Amino acid sequence: MDENLPGTSHLVVVSSRLPVELDDRESWRRAPGGLVSVLEPVLRDRPATWLGFLEAHADPPPEKVVGFELAAVPISPIERKFALDGYCNQTLWPALHGLDDHVEEDASWRRSYEFVQERTAHAIDRVAAPGAAVWLHDYQVYGVGRHLARLRPDLVVGLFCHTPVAARSLAHLRSGRAVAEDLRAMHFIGTQTAEDAESIRTFLGSGDPHGGRVRAMPVGFDGARWLGYRTDPVVTAMATRYRGATGVTAVGVDRVDYTKGLLHKLNAVEYLLTSGTVTPDEFRLVQIAVPSRTGVPVYRYLNGQLEATARRINGTFRRTDGKLVVELIRRQLPQREVAAVMRAGDLALITPVRDGMNLVALEFATLNGDRPSAVVIGAGAGVAPLIAPWSDVVDGGDVLGIADAIRHVLDRPEPDRQQRAAARAAEALRHAATDWAESFLDELLDAGATTAA
Ligand code: F6P
């Protein structure tokens, strides 16, 4: 590419992860599920590039693995450690979730983050056509807009926050002011909940040059796909493997993170069994718990605690069908198998302490709208306000509260559970991913036009 020619992409999407991954045979494939399936339709409609971080020594992914251009922002090992494991995952992540006890700060982490932001802005500059829209995703790239304002004032820059945004915790950071400056550079910011939008407005105060163009627009999902899994014979067959022969099967799907409240959930199950409220034959939990961020000590500790708690429960309580009372699945499953796990569930335990959206709740609701299924949802999940009327809302940090909610669900008459399940599925299906993506872009372009006028 001639460095002096302007870029050709009218839309540039930026996230920490590229929407592709290496498979077992070291060849690149489209990443399963997630953001890529949501954005692909809008990316295919116009010349577009997706930028993400990639280890500096890695070969770049070949073009045409997906229906749009890919570009990598190289990250050195020290930047992985300082900017991403450090500043993003140990400073911003816990602060955004309002979990101040987990916040660690180090001036060199922030400096390293700044370098990555500047390099990312230069990478965008190379691919973006004049006047292009730039869609940033999450805190790993909060600082990019500030550099773009200087490098490419012609670009319209928007940010979607997939995480909660706890303004009070952000303001307490030593780098809090810098974060506020980063966010002020955005023409538009989208959040999962109205509470998060308000929180950002408070955080930015009157110094926001774009007049607080912040709006709640909860992310959607591919409802038709999850509806299809209801009758998919492979999903149906696989689901029987996960379902207990007796009693209720509860399910959970999480990345291992202290925000997800996994230990509280297991402790609640242990409490129900120990107190004799349920017998092992009456209750089983299948929990997908994929390890992540294992470069950060607290995550390694959490993984150890999780394994130990499940071992303790399974060592004490046995079922007559030979299945474990708590089955932890520790690897990333293909989406259809995730659907099978969820289809095996009579009850979803989605009980984060604090979480972005937690789309799993909408997926479970859709998949199991035809059965007397139930959802126990943490109040701190972005999805909670959407499904609260037909679900049991708990504080994800309250072990006894979770145990109580499970007991309530078990006691609820079947017709009542069926009616709630149907209503919850109908609500879930109103939240289409493609509508979300289109409305974000409409808002962004509108914000750009207003600023230019
Ligand atoms: O949705 C929040 C988020 O932090 C994303 O930005 C990120 O891709 C995902 O969770 C998983 O985190 P990680 O990439 O650190 O495993």
How much is the pLDDT for 450?
79
Collect all residues with Cβ–Cβ distance below 8 Å to 145 and sequence separation of at least 6.
Answer: 134, 136, 157, 159, 182, 183, 185, 186
Q: Is the torsion defined by CA of 178, 180, 184, 188 positive or negative?
A: positive
Q: φ and ψ at 250, to 5 degrees? A: -100, 150
Query: Burial letters for 133-171: b for 16+ Cβ neighbours within 10 Å, e otherwise?
Result: bbbbbbbbbbbbbbbbbeebeebbbbbbbbbbbbbebbe
SS3 252: strand
How much is the pLDDT for 264?
98
How much is the pLDDT for 38?
81
Tokens (6 digits) for 357: 């959206």
Q: Do residues 130 and 154 lie in contact, with contact meaning Cβ atoms separated by under 8 Å?
A: yes
Q: What share of the chain is helix, strand, coil (3-state, %, to 5)?
A: 50, 20, 30
How much is the pLDDT for 67?
82
Q: Could you report the per-residue pLDDT of 426-453, keeping only the tens digit for each?
A: 999 999 998 999 999 999 999 888 777 6
If you search the block for the tokens 């059965």, which residue do you land on? 371
In angstroms, rounded to a whole number, what is the distance separating the alpha carbons of residues 187 and 215?
12
Residues of the chain with pLDDT under 70: 1-4, 33, 207-212, 453
Q: Measured in angstroms, how far is the CA atom of residue 17 from the centroid of ligand 1?
A: 8
Helix (H) or strand (E) holding 249: strand 248-255
Question: Is residue 152 in contact with ligand 1, taking CB distance under 6 Å?
Answer: no
Question: Is residue 80 in contact with ligand 1, taking CB distance under 6 Å?
Answer: no
Tell me the best of 16, 36, 332 to mutate to test the pocket of ligand 1, counting ligand atoms within 8 Å of each CB and taking the most.
Answer: 16
How much is the pLDDT for 2?
57
Tell me the best of 13, 15, 17 to mutate to test the pocket of ligand 1, counting ligand atoms within 8 Å of each CB and taking the most.
Answer: 17
Question: Is residue 292 in contact with ligand 1, taking CB distance under 6 Å?
Answer: yes
How much is the pLDDT for 372?
98
